[in-house]
Amino acid sequence: MPVKHQSDCYRTIRGERYKNLCDVLGPDDEAALEEVKAKKLRHRVIKHPDGFRQLFIHSDDVQKLS
């Protein structure tokens, strides 16, 4: 069975494509979320059915990350 890498996953939200940046599981992921917020990039945090959160960033804003 083929496996899709997490970075290849995305969500379409209100007609806009958001790329999966990371699962928010620990301090490094929380720091990534804070960086996205500080840079005021378009993002969404979605709760996964397994209880953790996933960070999605607008495809046009990915290159604005460090």
pLDDT tens-place string over residues 3-59: 767 768 899 999 999 999 999 999 999 999 999 999 999 999 999 999 999 999 999
Within a domain: 48: yes
Q: What is the pLDDT of residue 24?
A: 94
pLDDT at 14: 95
pLDDT given for residue 9 in this prediction: 87
- Give the pLDDT score at 46: 95
Domain that holds residue 42: 6-64
Within a domain: 1: no
- Does the pLDDT value for residue 1 go beyond 80? no
**Structural domains counted in the chain:** 1
Residue 66 has pLDDT above 90, yes or no: no
Residue 21 forms part of a structural domain: yes
**58 domain residue, yes or no:** yes
The set of residues, in sequence order, having a beta carbon less than 8 Å from that of 56 and lying 6+ positions away, is 10, 11, 13, 18, 19, 20, 21, 43, 44, 45, 46
